[in-house]
Structure 1
Amino acid sequence: MKKKRIHNRKYLVDFRKFLRNNVTSAEATLWNSLKGKKVEGLKFRRQHSIENYIVDFYCPELKLIIELDGEVHANFGQENYDNTRTERLEDLGFIVIRFENKVVFKNPEMIVNAILDIKNQ
């Protein structure tokens, strides 16, 4: 039996490209801190898809997903969707960490420290 592809499914290519070209200021700022293996040589991808979900940032080495949440994530329906999504990704063996957008600007070292904590586990 052929193994089912879960990463970067073809039908999501255009949407992923759209998201990469229309980033929020928080995503752009965090990407500048992550790209080029700036955090202890770890490679990150942005707007990476896993199954039917597109995650903000993904580190294959750690199976780590970083999600940034803006105001849109503050309503009940979106919160339920996010929780279901996180549960599914964790069931697939990924680690999911979430931060509010403002953390990127006010306390970026919190994000880097969380990555390093996961790396050192």
Structure 2
Amino acid sequence: MPHAPVPPQRRSNAKRMRKVMTDAEVKFWNAVRAHRLGGLSFRRQVPIAGYIVDFCCASHRLIVEIDGLQHVEDIAYDNARTQRLERDGWTVLRFWNQDVLADIDNVCLHVLIVIGET
């Protein structure tokens, strides 16, 4: 499926966000980058469907979002975003920062289970 052109401002924002990741995002990235998780290819801060997603594995149409406490206040926005991405055929997994920081192994295991790699 071809993707829509990404506006220059959104591309610039994604590039900037790759440089200022949260501790939880860094921990997840270190666990999955360079095909470390089951040989899967993940990219970070990727523009998709008008949003910038934290991580995606395009070959499995999987998006992983690492959420901090600010997401508690804007659940409606996150739900609308998830529904839009799912309409486009993506599976969206959300993990809390604390879950990633405290138990990265189970977060990675959950990702593998969802894509059927276990």
| TM-score, normalised by the number of residues in structure 1 | 0.89
CA contact (8 A) 1:58 1:66 kept: yes
Counting only pairs closer than 5 Å after superposition, residues 1-121 of structure 1 correspond to structure 2 as: 5-6=3-4, 9-11=6-8, 12-75=10-73, 78-120=74-116
Gaps in structure 1 of 5+ consecutive residues: none
1:4 Cα offset (Å):
6.7
Per-residue Cα deviation, 1:82-114 (whole angstroms, up to 9, x for no partner): 000000000100000000000111111221111
In 2, Cα distance between equivalents of 1:119 and 1:97: 11
1:61 Cα offset (Å):
1.1
Taking only the aligned residue pairs, the percentage that are identical comes to 35
The number of residue pairs the alignment matches comes to 116
In 1, Cα distance between equivalents of 2:104 and 2:27: 9
Letter in 1 for 2:90: F
Q: SS of the counterpart of 1:61?
A: helix
How big is the alpha-carbon RMSD for the aligned residues of Structure 1 and Structure 2? 1.6
| TM-score, normalised by the number of residues in structure 2 | 0.91
1:57 Cα offset (Å):
0.3
When residues 38 and 68 of structure 1 are mapped into structure 2, their CA distance, relative to the original with a 3 A threshold, is same
Gaps in structure 2 of 5+ consecutive residues: none
